[in-house]
Amino acid sequence: MTPLSYIILLSLALIALLFVVLTSLNKREEERKPIEKLDFETAGELSPEEVRLADLDLDYNKNQIVLYSMQPNKLFVKWHLTQKTWDKIENKDIKLDDILLRVYKIEGIVKSFDFSVNATYGGQEIDCTPGTAYYCALGIMKDTGFSPLVISNTIISMRETIH
């Protein structure tokens, strides 16, 4: 085999390898599908069960937070922390003023905004963007940061129009 034919053969092999790699990258981009169900990893004690309309009444024997869509631009969240949980927290120098509702908006990236709730139970109406995914966490805000106590279900707010 002459050196020239060896170089040509090696060049053709490299071009073929480059072609295979580039076409596989394009296929990966085409295979990406939109997220249909949003799952988040949380500790077992924080993971909510699936929420049905019948579950919107809270069970006051357990820590619970439920998020649901009221209108295309409104969400509503209800929460309850048990007396037992509050007693444990209060012993750690935590006050009602430290309880915070954090709302997470998922639009490509996760953004959050907070509401000071100052209560172990209650409800809050929240303005939202139609057709966007949301979930909430009720927790404690201290100098060290936000510590969630209970996390809500994830929902997609109502769309303004039916497609």
Phi, psi of 55 (to 5 degrees): -90, 5
Residue 52: pLDDT band (50, 70, 90) is very low
Mean pLDDT of the chain: 79
pTM of the model: 0.62
Q: What is the pLDDT of residue 26?
A: 62
Is the Cβ–Cβ distance between 129 and 105 less than 8 Å? yes
Q: For position 65, what pLDDT does the model report?
A: 92
CA 85 to chain centre: 24
d(CA 49, CA 10): 59
- Are 123 and 78 contacting, i.e. CB atoms less than 8 angstroms apart? yes
End-to-end Cα spacing for the chain:
65
| Residue-wise burial string across 40-59, b where 16 or more C-beta atoms lie within 10 A, e elsewhere | eeeeeebebeebeeeeeebe
CATH number of 53-156: 2.60.40.10
Mean pLDDT of 42-64: 55
What is the gyration radius of the CA atoms in the chain, in angstroms? 25
Render pLDDT for 109-128 as a digit per residue (tens, 0 to 9): 889 999 998 888 899 999 99
Residues in the chain: 163
Interval 10-23: pLDDT, tens: 888 888 888 888 77
